[in-house]
Structure formats: C-alpha cells, structure tokens
Structure 1
Amino acid sequence: MSSYRYGRYVDGPDPLAPPTDLRAAMDELGREVMEGSSPESALRELLRRGLPGTRGLDDLTARLWRKRAAITRRHRLDGTLQEVQRLLQEAVRAERAALFPDPDDDARFREAQLDALPQSTAAAVRELAEYDWRSPRARESYEEIRNLLGRELMDQRFQGMKQAVESVRPEDVRRIQDMLRDLNDLLAAHARGEDTAERFDGFMREHGEFFPENPRTVDELVDALAARSAAAQRMMNSMTEQQRRELAALSQQAFGDSGIGAQLAQLDSLLQGMRPGEDWDGSARFRGDNPMGLGEGAQAMADLAELDALAEQLAQSYPGARLEDIDLEALVRQLDGDAGVDARRLAELERELRSQNLLERAPDGSLRLTPKALRRLGETALRGVIDGVRAQGQRDNRSAGASGEPTGSTRPWAFGDTEPWNVPRTVTNAVLRSAGGPVSLDVVDVEVSETERRSRAAVALCVDTSWSMVQDGRWVPMKRTALALHHLVRTRFRTDALELITFGRHAETVDIGQLTALEGVWEQGTNLHHALLLAGRHVRRHPDAQPVVLVVTDGEPTAHLEATGEAEFHYPPLDRTLGKTLVEVDALARLGASITVFRLGDDPRLTRFVDAVARRSGGRVVAPDEDGLGAAVVSDYLRSRKRR
C-alpha cells in the first residue's frame, strides 16, 4: 500500500491560505482615521502592527535587528590570523623537536634561525618561506598556512570559492590566474560599453565552477562581485590597524609571485568604478568570542548589509515606498519562510486596498478613503449599533413602512418579518441548495422584498466637535454614530435627506468623508446657535419632509454667531448666547421639528439647558454613555419614523 506524508506547503505562497481579510483591515483603518489619523498614517500603522495571524513590519524589523546584534555580539574578525599563528607555532614546535636530538652544527644554526624569528606573524611566515624543513610534519603545517591564506583570500572575494579551491597547488593557481585574467578582461570591456553577452556566456562555460550563485548576465555578475568585494573592504575597515597590516602582508604570500594579488587589486578597482554606490567605506564593531576567517567575515559583513537594507525596506520611510519593494528572497534567507509569508501578505493587503478601490490619491497627492471604503465602515458601524439596539430590547425596523413601496432589493427572511415573499428568489435558492436533486422548500430559502415608506424625513445630525469631545474619549463614538446613521439612511431610507453638521467655535456642513477624517483640534467654543441655524436651513430646503433634528453634545453653548459672521465666545456662557440659541430652537419648533438632544456627561448646567430645549421643542433628552451613543441615535431616528 502506498503511504503519504503531508507537511507545510513550501514552494511559494500557500494556495490554500485564506484570502486577505479586507474587512478586518478596513475596520482597523477606520478606527485610526476616526481617531484623527490621516488615511496615509493609518495605513502605515496597520502595516506596522499587522493583523491577527500576520505579523506586522515592526515585528519583522525587530527580528532583523536581533539577528544583526547577534552577529556582532558573538563573533570577531581575527580568525584567519589566529589560525595562521596556530599553524606557525605547530610548525616551529615540530621542527624544534626534530632538531633537538641532532648534535651537529647545522641543527644548532637552524635552531638559532627559529629563535630569531620576528614577533610579527606575517614577517615570520615570510622569513620561513625559503627555510628547508627537517620535519615533514612541520613542512606540512607550514604549507597549510599557504593553502589556508589562499582559500580564505579567494573566499573573501568570491562566495563559495573555498569549496572550489581545495588547495593552492600549481594547477589550482593556474586555474585561478586564468579565471581572474578573463574576468578582468570581461569587466573592462563591459565598463567600456562593449557588447559582452556572448563573451559572458563563454566565460561562464569555462569558469562557472567559481560562481555558485550562477549569474545570468554580466550585470548580475558585477552586482554579486561588487557586493562581496565591498563587504570584504568593510571587514578590513572594521579591524585594527595592526590586524590590517598583518593580513595585507600575509595575503602577498598566499600565492607567491603568481601575480594573483595584482589581479585581485585590479578586480577591486574595476568593481569600485562600476558600482560606486556600494558601501566601500563602512565598518562594524564585533565584540564576540567566536573568531571568523576572511571568507566568514566577508559573509558576515554581507549579511549585515543585507539586514540593514531589509530594515530600510521594512521602514517604508523613503518617498514612494511600497511593500512590493521588499526583497522577499533576502528576507527568507535572513529570517525564515514565515517572515516571507507575513511580508507577502502585508504587500497583498496594501495592494488589495488600492485595487479594490478602498484607497485613492487626492488631487493634492494625499491618500484618502473612497466612498466604497466609507460604505464599508458605515456598514460595520451600523452592524455594531444594531447589535446595541437589539441588546436594549428593540428590533431593527427593516421594513420602511406599511405603505409597502418596494425598493427592488431582497434579503433573507428573519423571524417577525411581515414583508411579502419574493417568490423567484425563494425558489431559486431552493433549486441551488438541492444541487440537481429533488427540490424541497426550506425556511433558509425564503427571501422577502424590502419596502420603504413614501414619507420622507429631513434629518439634521448636529455633532459637537469641541476639544472636550476629544479629551473625554467621545470623539470616535461620535464619528461611529454618524457613520452608522449615514449608512442606515443611504441604504434603508434612501428618500430621507440627511445633513451632517459639526459645531465647535463655528458650525459647518460636512460630508461623511470629511467627518470621518476630521482631526480634533484645540478650539474653544460650542456654537450650537450656528449649528441650529444650518439645521433650519436644511429643513426649509425640504418642505415636503418631516423634520428630524438630532444634537450630540457634551457642553452647554459657549459661543454664538453675530450678524457679521464672527463667532463670539465666552465662558461661563453669556445670557445672550443662550438666548440666541433658544431662539433657533423655537424657530425649528415652528417648522414642526422636535429636537432630540443626546447629552454626554453629567454637567448640571448642561442638564438644565438641554431640558429647556426639549420642553420648548417638544423633543426629548437621552443621556447615553459613549458606547451606547450610536444605538441611542439610531433608535431615536427609527422611533421617529415609526411614529410617522
């Protein structure tokens, strides 16, 4: 029998992964915007924090910095020097052991030579280059120094070269010489602007073993070599002056007088000229106990550079930054596959928010929410408000009137609905549910036709935008309430005319987008007088509609509008301010409007004033808490429609 094993999907994005949760993202964006953030900064905040199941940019950046700190904290750069010193000491000890039993003068002379070796490791290695070793073990250790230096020097410039060059035998030296000569010729021709595509293909066929990264073009080859060469230079910059001198002297002895050192110097010069944007002057401070060789040190410097570049990409702080800029392959290489999945999901989220027409660029270049996004926010706000209405024992008045004027839309039947069934939709649902089998009707198939009243309402929602609304935590509930009411009117009671009016020092009419994005500012004054003037103007524009005026405020009027158009502010309120405000209350009452005031807070002066407003207009006062504000406003609006 065949056996099967199941594991995580690793070949790219998981095809069975859930789609991007745009609704949750829009809820988060909306909350940030309603708290006063711009859509641009709200989107950045969302991407920084992430969503449930998807880590944000901040978490990914923190992981990058932790890895960067671990590299510099655990390692140091003198591994090659230490290994050369160990091999040198091993060779000298073995040679002394071989010379000690020999009584002749030549043995004593050789011991004197060993005693007189310079303190400098590089100078000692150079002085022993012509020494005729008596001990085979000593000769082997000394030869290993040259092999080590050759491998490390090549691995420092070419990633993976240590595996390609097992030793520095004469045939290996010739292979390296030929490769470097052809490489320098190829890069010089490319720098002169010559067509080098065919020449590059021939070079890779002959010397491809030295380049495990398998570049496909000359530019890819130059990019890889320049990044490695710059990392090697930054590594040298990070060493002490003495360590640099020792390594420079040792490097000259790696391949003897083969000329490879001069070819490497020519290669570095070509690469610096072709890629001046690489970081050739940087350095890093390593303070750990684990010594690294030249190749490992160069790789560590390359990793640090890649980590820095990824951190900059994740920061998204440069003009025109997009999450598509993140190098996902590098992120997976430096962290893990999960990090790549998170970054890909965030990029998809950003892309979907734009492609689904939820975010758009304003004429001034700023980002703003589209009407579609505002509808989604309104739907979410209304859903939360309706839940609050039901929790208070009231039912959503989905039917818009006994006159039963069809709206053309349908919805699933719910217990208590009295609207007529929509037979075509009901039968279609039953057929689809039966999937080709016998058709039977079930309660889940039933859809009813939505209706609306012929009566219209002119609704003015006046919301207080003074600073006290911000500092007392009432700013977002106020906006959520306006969103819910706006969505309810636009989707269920489309014949009603809704006007949104904000009032601080002055009052003004705003659309739902402006109100959603409105930022709280320090402004003294609660000019209900001006707001009621605008509400009266809205009611007069719709003489055939029932007037409904809803006022949300947490303070008594402290400002009124003068005939000149200027607002006069005074605290405590002037009698003239209160008088002018009540004159507008009486004017609205004469138009048939009863004013419902939603009082936030327990200020005794405010309580006395709103009670007077309710008495004079035949309205009422509702004192909800912040969480119940939306339910209270929507309930009062539905109640006024039911009354009509």
Structure 2
Amino acid sequence: MRYRYGPYREGPDPLAPPFDVREALDAVGDDVMNGSSVSDALRRLMRRGAGEDRRGLDDLLREVRARRRELRERGRLDGVLEEARALLDTAIGQERAELFPDPSDEARLREAELDQVPSDTAAAVRALRDYEWRSDAARQTFQRLKDMLRDDVLDAQFQGLKQALQGGDPAQMERVRDMMAALNAMLDADARGEHRQEDFDAFMAEYGEFFPDTPQTLEELVDSLARRSAAMNRLMNSLSPEQRDELAQLMAESLQDAGLEAEMARLGDALRGRRPDLDWTGGERMTGEDPLGLGDATSALADLADLADLEAAMRQDYPGASLTDVDEEAVRRALGRNAVDDLAELRRIENELQRQGYLSQDKGRLELTPKAVRRLGDTALRRAFSQLAGGPRGDHAQRDAGQAGELTGTSRPWRFGDEQPLDVVRTVTNAVLRDPSHIALTPDDFAVHETENRTAAAVCLLVDLSYSMVSNGTWAAAKQTALALHTLVKSRFPRDAVQIVGFSNYARPLTPEQMTSLDWDMVQGTNLHHALLLAGRHLDAHPDFDPIVMIVTDGEPTAHVRPDGRYLFDYPPSPETLVLTFAEVDKMTRRGATLNVFMLADEPRLIAFVDEIAHRNGGRVFTTDADSLSVEVVSDYLSTRTPRRSRR
C-alpha cells in the first residue's frame, strides 16, 4: 500500500502537549488565599493576563482607549461643510473673473445674481443649481462640488462606494440606483419572511463591487450598513444646529440630484427598524484640527461606537459579565489579529481550568476542586523549599531492619536475623567475584538492601485567623503556610498525622479545602486556649506518635472557652484567659510536646507572653514576617523530626 503524509487538518493536534494552566491556577489560588472568591480571583486573572507573553483585559482595554483618543484627534466633523464652502467660493470667484472684463449689461446682471447668492452653503448650492455658468472652469468646479457631495453622502452609507464612483461614469451611477432599489426590495422581502440565501448570493454576484467587506449573509450586510447609518446620525447630532441644518440640506440636495433621495430614506428607515439597539441619537466630540470628509467622519464615528461597545464589554463590570461578551470581530477590527489571539488565550484558560478538573460549578458558583487545592499546596511547598538554604533536610531517619523501612539505595552484608529485602545483584556479584569458575552461593555472599524506618509524628499547626491577621497583611501567608506544611507531611511523611487548627474567637480543625476557601470574619478574639485544647485531643488520639505543635500568631491570647462552651473576649487579656492558656501549655509539656511559636509581630505584650511559653515548655520562639513564614515553619518541621537511629 502507498501512503501520503501531510499536515493534520481534522481538528486540534492530538499529539500536542496538554495545555498548562498550573501557573494560572497558582495566580487564582493566591487571590483566593487573600480572601477573594474564586470568581473574583479568576476575573482578576483575566484582567492582568496569564504569563509575560499574553496580554490581559486591562492591557487590551488600554489599547482600546488609546485607539479612541487617536480617532477623536483625527480631525473635525464639519470638514465636508468647509470643503463645500471652499469649492463654492472658488467657483463663484472663477465666474466673477470671467465676467469682470465683459462690459455688457448681461455680465453686470450675472454679477448681481452672484451677489444675491445666500451665505448658507446649502442654500447657495440650491440657488446656483440652474445657473448658466459663463466660465468653463467655474462650471467644472461647481460640478466637482456636486460630485463631491454626492460621493461623500453615498460613502457615508456605503463604505468604499466613493472609489467605485470616481470618474463620473453615468452608467456606474445608474448601477448604484439599481443596487439600492434591489437592496430595499431584498429587505422588504426579508421583512415578509420571503428572503432566501440564494437571493442574497445573487445580489452579491451582481453588485458585490460596492461592498468591499464582502458580507456572507444579509444579516452581515445589515449590520455593516446599520453601523454606518447610526454613525451618520451621531455625526449630525455632534454638529451645531446651524451646521446640522446646512449639512442636511446639502445631503438632500445631492441625493435629489442623483435620483437617490427616496431610496436612501427608505433604506435608512429599514436599517433603523432592524437595529434599534444601536445608538442612533448620541453624539461624539472630535478634537482634531484637520477637516474630515463625510465618509471618513462617518467611518471614524462608526469605529468609535465599536470601540465604546468593546470597552464596555472588556470592563466586565456588569452582572453576568463573561469573556464571551467580547466580540472577537470587533477586537480584530480595532486591535488586530494578535489581540484576538490574546483574547482566545484568556477564554481558553477559563475553559481549561474547568476541563482539567481544577474548577467546578456548584449552584452557579465557581469552586476550587480538591485537585486544585493539592496543586496549591504543592506550589506553597515548592515556594518554601526554593528559599531554604542547602544542606541536610532533617529527614528523621531511623536505620533499622524493619520490613516497613524505605530503601536507601545502598546494601550491606547479610547478618543472621536480618529481614531486609535481598539484594540479588550484589549477592550474585559477590559469588562471581569470589570464584568466577564455579558460581555457588555461600552465606557470606548474601547482601541485603539497607532501609530506614521512619518514626511517625502527630503534627499540629495552630494558625491565628483573627481579624488582626487580615489588617496586618499576614492572612494569606498563614493560609499558604498551612497548605505547605500539610502537603509536605502528606507527600514526604505519609505516616505522620497532621491537623491544622485555625483559631479566632473559637478554634476549629480545618481541611486544606476549608483553609483555601476560608474567608475572614470581623470577630474579636485570639482564642489560643481553645486551639491548644483541640491540639491536645489530636495528640492524645496518637499516643505512640512524636508530638509536634507549632503556633502562628500575631497577638497575645484575648479569649478563652468558658465552662458553658461560650467564649469570653477581653482586652487586655483577662487573668483568667492567661491562666487557662498557660494551663494548656503545661499539659502540652507533660505530653512531651514542644511548642514552637512563630511571631508575626513584635509587640511587647506578645513577646512577654511567648517568652513565658518558652520558659514553661522549653520550645523555641521565631520572629518572622509574611514573606518568610512558610520557610520558617517548613524548616522547623523538618528539623524537629529528630531521628532515633539504631543499627543491626
């Protein structure tokens, strides 16, 4: 059989690597840790963009606003009036120059007629419509004025039609009249429900040269024409009343001369009826100095309207906002292909986060999945390890012969009673080296893999979640630290039993999922007493495990649990709060648990309190900040797991 190979064209490349959204998830997770909802965090990610080579909505929005400023400064909307006045004055001046040498009464009568021409440009054009020009140059200038007005009016409605009419070919003008009649007939048929795509295709085959944007359906054509028609209305509204009346009369005069006044009015009514959602009544201020022709001014206003809609969609500041609201074609017209690619990348991130199982919908609300929480824990731990100094990690190994030990990668001679796995390769190698001519195993040839048996620990991390942690900017760092420690224990030391306890007015055990999505409450109280109670229960549930207790706080205890189960808050701390808290510290000491405290503040009362804990318990005190908290806690956990070694 013969085969032909070529590019795969049946959809996405099936061999392409999976889309990596982990960096985006980390960014969302950081915001969630700071107390944002998942939806708000995702929205912020969309705004700032993901990665250095892709722009976010804020970057695109700045470009849209810059483009709007550029268009506004492009010129003045009254340029057509200025150009028409200039051509009219030129024609009248040329005619006077022709009449001045002529001494006849006819010449003087003509001069008197020119003197009576109104100052209003539209009225002057109307008054001179039937004037018999003596000067050929003046006649040509006046005809150029009428052609300019006709072409500009048509170009304002049909972009590019001005170029099609250049040369003044009467046959081409007749085709324009036929095209408008056919277009209005097609719109009428569509309004009656009788339009077919074949009719549109036939229309484009006949008159396609008048539509350089090559619409594919009647709806696309209506959208294009309606945008320009609405922009023309806004242009008129942007002029002064005098300018508006003057331009309206000039346009009517030019359309009447071309025999298009009725068809154009009919088209305008049809477009307005089909697109009432467009802005037909507003205005736009143009600040440039160069005069713009009617077609160019209309194009500028149509583009400004598109940019205004695009800016509103990109702000995403309305209920139910979504990236699907941003019109890709409008982005392409305004900012180019690269911006479309950036927008597609943003949309893909949101879709991939859900498709790859990092986000889920719960009653219309986005939530992080357990898979996402594990990823955030891995990230928090990786960040902590990246800041740790090189050197021993304190892997609390106990070398023993237990079968439950982990392989170290080395082996040693077998001794009676050893239960480690047999190192077959080393055993056979020993026999070969002893006697290559006759391989026979003896007891001295046997070797076993060395293993290390790890002692288990009951780990408690007590995290202050009071409102002061939010106001001091350490809230997110404390949550990330808890995730990092939990991930470290579960991944590196799976036999350890870890519990995270958050405490404010009350204390409560928290899973990683709860810790990630936990929002702060403006409640009073730092109830370390209750947190130590819960930690004690965790240690008591694992009596054979090494006890490890770490406390993260930025303030002294200001609350305790009363016998009736309610909490009591008092500041400064009441003597009863301190007595009950220190009683739990003493119980921890009797359990053999060392309390290491990580202070996120250096207030004198807090320092005095933690010094008393260290005095009673023998634990250590660390003064740290939000940036180094994870490193300190992870490092302390690794070093606290003191190995108990015994060799056989």
Smaller-chain TM-score bracket:
0.7 to 0.9
Equivalenced residue count is 599
* Alignment match, 1:634: 634
Secondary structure of the residue that 1:642 maps to in structure 2? coil
Query: 1:309-320, aligned counterparts within 5 Å?
Result: 309-320=309-320
Report how far residue 167 of structure 1 moved: 5.1
Indicate conservation of the 8 Å contact 1:552/1:598, yes or no. yes
CA distance in 1, matches of 2:452, 2:374: 20
Question: Against the structure 1 CA distance between its residues 556 and 451, is the aligned structure 2 distance closer, same or farther, given a 3 Å change threshold?
Answer: farther
Report how far residue 292 of structure 1 moved: 1.0
Indicate conservation of the 8 Å contact 1:405/1:452, yes or no. no
Q: Which moved more, 1:377-386 or 1:322-331?
A: 322-331
CA distance in 1, matches of 2:69, 2:268: 29
Q: TM-score, normalised by structure 2?
A: 0.85
Query: 1:123-142, aligned counterparts within 5 Å?
Result: 123-142=123-142
Secondary structure of the residue that 2:129 maps to in structure 1? helix
* Alignment match, 2:41: 42
Question: Against the structure 1 CA distance between its residues 623 and 337, is the aligned structure 2 distance closer, same or farther, given a 3 Å change threshold?
Answer: same
Q: Deviations over 1:501-535 (max 9, x none)?
A: 11112111222222223334433221101111111
Q: Deviations over 1:278-309 (max 9, x none)?
A: 11112111232111111111101111011112
* Alignment match, 2:395: 397
CA distance in 2, matches of 1:353, 1:422: 46
* Alignment match, 1:540: 540
Query: 1:233-252, aligned counterparts within 5 Å?
Result: 233-252=233-252
Query: Which residue identity lines up with residue 27 of structure 2 in the other structure?
Result: E
Structure 2: gaps (5+ residues): 1-11, 411-419, 426-448
Q: Deviations over 1:438-480 (max 9, x none)?
A: xxxxxxxxxxx99884643222211111233233333233222
Indicate conservation of the 8 Å contact 1:147/1:167, yes or no. no
Indicate conservation of the 8 Å contact 1:389/1:395, yes or no. no
Identical residues among aligned pairs (%): 49
Report how far residue 75 of structure 1 moved: 1.5
Secondary structure of the residue that 2:568 maps to in structure 1? strand
CA distance in 1, matches of 2:471, 2:63: 36
Query: 1:191-202, aligned counterparts within 5 Å?
Result: 191-202=191-202
Indicate conservation of the 8 Å contact 2:394/2:642, yes or no. no
Indicate conservation of the 8 Å contact 1:186/1:196, yes or no. no
* Alignment match, 1:367: 366
* Alignment match, 2:518: 518
Report how far residue 412 of structure 1 moved: 12
* Alignment match, 1:179: 179
Indicate conservation of the 8 Å contact 1:359/1:370, yes or no. yes
CA distance in 2, matches of 1:587, 1:324: 59
- Structure showing greater Rg: 2
Report how far residue 406 of structure 1 moved: 7.0
* Alignment match, 1:488: 488
Query: Which residue identity lines up with residue 554 of structure 2 in the other structure?
Result: D
* Alignment match, 1:529: 529
Q: TM-score, normalised by structure 1?
A: 0.85
Whether 1:588 aligns to 2:585 is no
CA distance in 2, matches of 1:389, 1:124: 86
* Alignment match, 2:231: 231
Report how far residue 401 of structure 1 moved: 6.9
Query: Which residue identity lines up with residue 371 of structure 1 in the other structure?
Result: P
CA distance in 2, matches of 1:404, 1:383: 31
CA distance in 2, matches of 1:286, 1:404: 85
Query: Which residue identity lines up with residue 523 of structure 2 in the other structure?
Result: E
Report how far residue 400 of structure 1 moved: 8.7
CA distance in 1, matches of 2:423, 2:602: 49
Please report the RMSD computed on the Cα atoms of aligned residues, expressed in angstroms: 3.2
Whether 1:473 aligns to 2:473 is yes
Indicate conservation of the 8 Å contact 1:72/1:286, yes or no. yes
Whether 1:70 aligns to 2:67 is no
Structure 1: gaps (5+ residues): 1-12, 414-418, 425-448
CA distance in 2, matches of 1:544, 1:242: 95
Q: Which moved more, 1:511-520 or 1:276-285?
A: 511-520
Secondary structure of the residue that 2:509 maps to in structure 1? strand
CA distance in 1, matches of 2:388, 2:289: 66
Report how far residue 618 of structure 1 moved: 4.9
Question: Against the structure 1 CA distance between its residues 94 and 536, is the aligned structure 2 distance closer, same or farther, given a 3 Å change threshold?
Answer: same
CA distance in 2, matches of 1:546, 1:110: 116
Question: Against the structure 1 CA distance between its residues 561 and 138, is the aligned structure 2 distance closer, same or farther, given a 3 Å change threshold?
Answer: same
Whether 1:60 aligns to 2:60 is yes
Query: 1:565-576, aligned counterparts within 5 Å?
Result: 565-576=565-576
Indicate conservation of the 8 Å contact 2:464/2:502, yes or no. yes
* Alignment match, 1:7: none
* Alignment match, 1:434: none
Indicate conservation of the 8 Å contact 1:227/1:302, yes or no. yes
Report how far residue 257 of structure 1 moved: 5.2
Whether 1:607 aligns to 2:629 is no
Indicate conservation of the 8 Å contact 1:150/1:167, yes or no. no
Question: Against the structure 1 CA distance between its residues 333 and 199, is the aligned structure 2 distance closer, same or farther, given a 3 Å change threshold?
Answer: closer
Query: 1:194-213, aligned counterparts within 5 Å?
Result: 194-213=194-213
Report how far residue 619 of structure 1 moved: 3.6
Question: Against the structure 1 CA distance between its residues 616 and 401, is the aligned structure 2 distance closer, same or farther, given a 3 Å change threshold?
Answer: farther
Indicate conservation of the 8 Å contact 2:396/2:643, yes or no. no
* Alignment match, 2:357: 357
Indicate conservation of the 8 Å contact 1:551/1:598, yes or no. yes
Secondary structure of the residue that 1:390 maps to in structure 2? coil
Indicate conservation of the 8 Å contact 1:400/1:493, yes or no. no
CA distance in 1, matches of 2:557, 2:248: 82
Whether 1:79 aligns to 2:68 is no
* Alignment match, 1:110: 110
CA distance in 2, matches of 1:86, 1:403: 105
Q: Which moved more, 1:50-59 or 1:301-310?
A: 50-59
CA distance in 2, matches of 1:400, 1:143: 104
Report how far residue 82 of structure 1 moved: 1.3
Indicate conservation of the 8 Å contact 1:549/1:594, yes or no. yes
Q: Deviations over 1:310-356 (max 9, x none)?
A: 21222122344333443344324323444334333333333333322
Secondary structure of the residue that 2:627 maps to in structure 1? helix
